[in-house]
Structure 1
């Protein structure tokens, strides 16, 4: 079996050294990396499959996320987050597609989200999304053992593949270390 790609993390955001880490993976057949990439890298299409995002502001260069571009979107009812694309590598034969963005706010949290879209043997593709989160709200939630809702973010994103594109999933794996309630985050955010 070939070695599968992994997310390339900024040094200060390595999983295991952050307050929260989430990992989700799908492997599917009868699907191409290009089909996935077209939906993932084009922010103008996000609303067609991810209902937990709103107020999307495309980068100045257009709807496709390219390295160094800046875009905004709102999730969990938060004000729009300003995100900078850190990686954008279109998938090609033998090369994994990579997309990653970073955001931090003045209210004490930082998030880095990465995607990998790659071909596997026997006509399959692998879609991996992982996210690290830092900040007091994530530390506090981990102490309280509140383990539900940032899964909802990932489940929503992965809905792209379950509802919109993927017809046959060989394997569906959901993994998360610590998760938070979306309402709890909104309350904490609004108090700051």
Structure 2
């Protein structure tokens, strides 16, 4: 009976077949899984895009305590990450990247929106600022539209004046031809009578 319930054999232990959830980091802290290497590569890209942790904190105008609240971490974690050379976990970098992207996309978005006691009020304020900016853009578009209409009406006016000038030119050309023909006719009559 005891022989039926056996643990993995030596050959299975060497192959790692005894535990599918086994992570190599448990035995050798230097080896990394492909997933971890992927995360680290993503973090390196994000760091190049947005800078280091203290630079981001300064850009956002937050204290260490406030940025820790924003990221929902203990302030000692932030201090440790900064001292260890920006060794924050990948999800922290991703959260910072998303926050900075949100700030770019939504004018007037402040950390207080996420940290304040009444995010609904801050949300309404951010929406009002967006509406004001939208209204200013509409007014500018309307102004440009009126100027463009003025340009088009000026163009039409110049076009009609050009048509009138063409008509006048054609009329004067025709009159000149008639006057020239009449002059030639009179010259012919004059020479005809003079020759008789």
- TM-score w.r.t. the length of structure 2 is 0.20
- Of structures 1 and 2, the larger Rg is shown by 2
User: Of Structure 1 and Structure 2, which has the larger fraction of its residues in strand?
Assistant: 1
Higher relative contact order (Cα pairs below 8 Å, separated by 6+ residues) = 1
- TM-score, length of structure 1 as denominator length: 0.20
